Chains A and B, each alone.
Chain A
């Protein structure tokens, strides 16, 4: 209504996330079937993951190890004697009628994750992690495929190991949720526990969202909505943002509070950019959790925990501080490189170690390589120039054996030709200019440009520029830096 006053409301958006991460094991959680993506339907199952009568599960030890890694990386408590529970519900892509999961004794719990505040890069946000538990994935349902609209079931994915990471409701905006997810994915990628490929469903996000609205007298919580199966960080951000607005509007219209309606599950419609109701359950689901009698508990000894900790790969934060300390990178450059993932960080480290020039190595990577990778939709492991070669090139520039322009020519050649630095220089006619040749060049330039030299001596520093350009014209291989050095020496000594 036009005459209604819409006072600015003080409210907070409250977001908690549940992230399903497919663990990078070769075989399934309880049987030996492979976990490959995109296989022909029902070609990657066995009696065990099909849940056929009489079959029994046996835990994949590597799934336990990967879950331990996540626990260690997120400062979590590793639960010795974690247990397996059956969560009962009927759905045709769940062949046993229950999902084997972990209920009250998850493998790891009570951790935290820090990430840069998207609203203020000087600040960090901290999100508490409630728990991360192991469970088996379900199969895939293709609805309405059969004649008479039946559903088709493919059980290839059934039994794939998932780690479900559950945060406390500590996030305060869609942007924070996205930043958290990026940081979490970066860590998981560094650990190598998952490929985090969201298109293939290796990382799936559910968001619980509601608002806390403050008026003069009280703080009112709106009903919690769970948005299911967000398949990209962008969609996660947009869906939460949409939900914030929708709930605010809904509250203004109805004043509905938490507890006044059952928990809603909504889905994100990426085309229409809205969330839609999927399910509203009157009674809370009764999963009848019950300890799985087929699986003995997993007891993590201190020794096994220590061993795993010792083998833990360096985490993003450790790489970052290494880069700023040893290679003197700015916080920003270090972050840009580290956020690209472990392969890029390792690539940088090799380049820097060979060239002994961190700053220049970082520039090549952030300005040239990342752009190219993006253009070519390529990963660093497929990039044609190996780190060692780039290291050699950067080293040559640092030692003034090459100028930047010539180095770029070599770099461009390397993108198509797998040849050595020496071969590349020969191909491009780049020869090393000897000290004597530089001296001769200096003598010639000094002799021919006395006026400019005088200008320089009288303080006109820029007078040297044209002289260096002249030298480059006379001998394209001469290093401008070395020539400049020799020229200054000559000027000083006369």
Chain B
């Protein structure tokens, strides 16, 4: 689109940024991935940065596509899954529990 230069990039994003995002998002990347994601994010954010500078105070943030409210259910108990069903897709099971690697408190 004319007002943007897709080649515009932002230098805010560094490998360090990517590492921080990896920690936040619990996502392990290879060194190679990191390098290419730095470039991608610079390009994408450079493109999206045009939004940041606009004065949009007159527009209320919109988080839904349609205006509907008070959609609720009655407090009615419905049948739960059987334990077998509940654990059907669990990677590791111990008896009736899901088992995960040790959590260090």
Contact = CB atoms under 8 A, between A and B. Distances in A.
Partners in one complex: yes
A92 interface: yes
B102 A148 contact: yes
B80 A33 contact: yes
A41 B78 contact: no
B102 A42 contact: no
A44 interface: yes
A150 B102 contact: yes
B81 A92 contact: no
The dominant DSSP class at the A interface is loop
Contacts, number: 125
The dominant DSSP class at the B interface is loop
A47 B74 contact: no
Given A43-B83, A155-B86, A143 B105 contact: yes
Interface size range of chain B in the complex: 35 or more
Contacts of A155: 86, 98
A288 interface: yes
A33 B77 contact: yes
Contact of A153 (B74, B82, B98): B98
Contacts of B68: 296
A58 B94 contact: no
Contact of B71 (A27, A58, A293): A58
Interface size range of chain A in the complex: 35 or more
A25, A50, A149 — most chain B CB neighbours (10 Å) = A50
B51 interface: no
A421 interface: no
Interface stretch (A60-68, A109-117, A308-316): A60-68
A31 interface: yes
Given A26-B75, A45-B81, A288-B24, 9 more contacts: A31-B78, A40-B96, A41-B97, A44-B80, A62-B75, A92-B98, A151-B102, A152-B97, A296-B64
Interface of B: 24, 26, 63-64, 68-83, 86-87, 89, 92, 94-103, 105
Interface of A: 25-27, 31-34, 40-47, 50, 52, 58-64, 81, 90-92, 141-146, 148-155, 278, 286, 288, 291, 293, 296-299
